[in-house]
Structure 1
Amino acid sequence: MKKYIIQSIRLTLVLIILLCVIYPLSIALAGKLAKGNGGGEKITQNGKTVGYALLGQSFTKPQYFWGRPSAVGYNAAGSAGSNKGPSNPDYLKEVQSRIDTLIKYNPGLKKADIPAEMVTASGSGLDPNISEQGAAIQIARVASARHLNPQKVKELVALNTLKPFMGVFGPSSVNVLKLNLALDNL
């Protein structure tokens, strides 16, 4: 019996050192080697931090591209989905309200042309990217609000489109914050 207790204590000590010291330190080191030194990839403009590349932000003015809705108000401390199912009446009202808003502010837009990510929140509520289609349906509104040629805005969207990893893994996407900053710099 004493033999098993000593082995159990040794195993516990080894696992404590491995899982409570070595593993966290290796993760912290990996973070320090990543972009942003483990603090996230900051986006700066004129020497001032305006956001983070991997965190969505709220844009509601007509002259900006709008991102994916957030169930948590873009609060990174409360990252979560809405936990409402597709048959929940409150959820359906929210989605219909988002559809109505998109149609109201994007003349000529049809309900069938709206991609799902523009009216549904992501699992984290912090998704910084939208699809190319999500950006395309907003080009006319943004160009009109900024008094720009729609072709110029379309070219800017193309320049800010992230292609799939290695050309095949995942869909193309557009980082909304980076696109809006590029618009401001025109």
Structure 2
Amino acid sequence: MLKEWGRCLLFFLVLTVITGLAYPLAVTGLAQLIFPRQANGSLVAQDGQVVGSRLIGQEFTSPYYFQGRPSASDYDAMDSGGPNYAPSSRALEQAVKQHYQALARENPGLTPQKTPLDLITDSASGLDPHISPQAALLQVPRIARARAVPEQEIVELVKRHIHPRWLGLYGEPRVNVLELNLALDRHFGRPAGGVNRHQVQVHRP
């Protein structure tokens, strides 16, 4: 009986070392060696200070910047998730209307037919860092007015930041909102006023 218990204990200890120590260390080491940027959170720095992650969306409310997708979790990485409304839900219909009305106030001339769905619907995670090229281009007139720069220059900036489908097949063309907003500041300079707490900085819960 004691011999059997000894074998069980030894088996438990060996598996603990392999799966709880050796395997995590090996995976972490390989990740740091092969994909160091991704393994450390794909962080984005500006002037030596971390301002966000390429993988986690954050809120931008200033008229000088592109806005991302609505978030049911208020862009809180500790509370990731979507509203999970059914397509027939009245709550979903009401939420979409509210998102559209807010978007229309900030972007005059907008119509429902011209509105990309990703700007008026929550992402499944609440942390989507990307929007469609159409969603970015829709916001160009507002940003051009706020920054007093030609629209075409911002359009060209958007085009340079479009990520294509992976291998030309998978996913959809997309634009990373944080990267695009940082490019705005690099290209046109930081606005002298109207800065709020959501302007190009990490959103913390």
Task: Give structure 1 stretches of 5+ with no counterpart.
Answer: none
Residue of structure 2 in register with 1:55 after alignment: 56
Deviation of 1:21 after TM superposition, in Å, equals: 2.2
Residue of structure 2 in register with 1:168 after alignment: 169
What is the root-mean-square deviation of aligned Cα atoms in Å?
A: 2.3
- Distance in structure 2 (CA, Å) of the matches to 1:31 and 1:90: 42
Task: Give structure 2 stretches of 5+ with no counterpart.
Answer: 189-205
Residue of structure 2 in register with 1:25 after alignment: 25
TM-score by length of 2: 0.80
Specify the SS of the correspondent of 1:43. Answer: strand
TM-score by length of 1: 0.87
Deviation of 1:76 after TM superposition, in Å, equals: 1.1
Relative contact order higher in (CA < 8 Å, ≥ 6 apart): 2
Residue of structure 2 in register with 1:113 after alignment: 114
Deviation of 1:31 after TM superposition, in Å, equals: 3.4
Write the deviation string for residues 102-142 of structure 1: whole angstroms up to 9, x where unpaired: 12221222112212211112121111111111111111111
With over 3 angstroms needed to count, the CA separation of the structure-2 counterparts of 1:114 and 1:35, relative to structure 1, is farther
Alignment of 1:97-108 (within 5 A): 97-108=98-109
Per mean C-alpha deviation after superposition, the further-off stretch among 68-77 and 7-16 is 7-16
Alignment of 1:59-74 (within 5 A): 59-74=60-75
Letter in structure 1 aligned against 2:128: D
Moved over 4 A (4+): 1-14
State the identity as a percent: 39
Contact 1:103 1:111 (C-alpha < 8 Å) held by counterparts: no
Residue of structure 2 in register with 1:126 after alignment: 127
Specify the SS of the correspondent of 1:102. Answer: helix
1:152 pairs with 2:169: no
Aligned length: 186
